[in-house]
Structure 1
Amino acid sequence: MPPLMKLDAITLDCADPLALADFYRQATGLAPHPKSDAEFAALNGEHGLAIGFQRVDDHRAPTWPDQEVPQQLHLCFAVEDLDEAEARLRELGAGKPAAQPHEDKWRVLTDPAGHPFCVVIRG
């Protein structure tokens, strides 16, 4: 029996969809969806999986690792070199929380809208 559903997109809430899409475009090299606009932007991902960014009024960034505003989800990206990836992502506007549970294995960073994401050594 074929699967009932196929994962099509992962969408992040944010205040500025175009700006957040541009951050992830520069970080991943994924192509922008041609119908992206100020309300909803997307990147065309590998194997048909898209990353979307939707505008939410009064968006509150997660406060990881404090759970006052929970992270709700996070993305993980495989990289060849943690230090190199972290440096490049920080140049693009990523933040780095003080809490780093296993900094030798992965790095927790935050995108410009405050969403935590991880970079991990490609396995």
Structure 2
Amino acid sequence: MTEFPRLLHTVLDAEDPRGLAEFYRQFLGLNYRTGDEPPADGSADEADWLVLVDTAGNRALAIQQVETLAPTTWPDSAVPMQLHLDFTVPDTGTLDIHRQRALDLGARILLDRTDDPDEPLYVFADPAGHPFCVFVG
């Protein structure tokens, strides 16, 4: 074997791909891949696939349009989580800052476990309902 496959990016489904891409672009400080930016002239946005990159141009997340998306009902198992993203911060003060940023950008809290002395965390749902965690680690 010459080489293992390399993870290119994680893809999230969304009914509104631009809206979800904007959430993660702002929350994670990412940029659009060249050509995926919103229309500069204010025309209708027909994007059905968007890629977000880090400052070095490495792919981080992609968002693809789907007609319907049933958000997870976690912690109830009626609609399982199936996938979630984990993000870390260095301390509880920073955790609080990013909690507020996530909420301001349209996330909602699914679980507040900030009283855990070993691993304080929040579990959020992004605007499309995908769960993600931010924890001190």
Band the TM-score falls in, shorter-chain normalisation? 0.7 to 0.9
Hey, what's the Cα distance between the residues in 2 that align with 1:63 and 1:71?
7
Give the conservation status (yes or no) of the 8 Å contact 1:45–1:51: no
> Map of 1:24-103 to 2, 5 A cutoff?
24-36=24-36, 38-45=47-54, 48-80=58-90, 81-97=94-110, 99-100=111-112, 102-103=113-114
Pair 1:120 & 2:135 matched: yes
The alignment partner of 2:109 has SS state of coil
Give the conservation status (yes or no) of the 8 Å contact 1:7–1:49: no
Hey, what's the Cα distance between the residues in 2 that align with 1:79 and 1:11?
23
Cα deviation for residue 3 of structure 1 reads: 3.1
The alignment partner of 1:59 has SS state of coil
How many correspondences in the alignment?
120
Identity across aligned pairs (percent)? 41
**Residue segments in structure 1 that go unaligned for 5+ positions in a row:** none
Cα deviation for residue 22 of structure 1 reads: 0.3
**Residue segments in structure 2 that go unaligned for 5+ positions in a row:** 37-45
Give the conservation status (yes or no) of the 8 Å contact 2:31–2:55: no
The alignment partner of 2:134 has SS state of strand
Q: Tell me the alpha carbon deviations over residues 7-26 of structure 1, each in whole angstroms, 9 at most, x when there is no partner.
A: 11100011011110000011
Hey, what's the Cα distance between the residues in 1 that align with 2:123 and 2:84?
10
Whose radius of gyration is greater, 1 or 2?
A: 2
The alignment partner of 2:99 has SS state of helix
CA RMSD of aligned residues (A): 1.9
Hey, what's the Cα distance between the residues in 2 that align with 1:15 and 1:29?
22
Which stretches of structure 1, 4 residues or longer, exceed 6 Å deviation after superposition? none
Q: Tell me the alpha carbon deviations over residues 49-104 of structure 1, each in whole angstroms, 9 at most, x when there is no partner.
A: 4201111111111111112111110111122421111011101111012x44x334
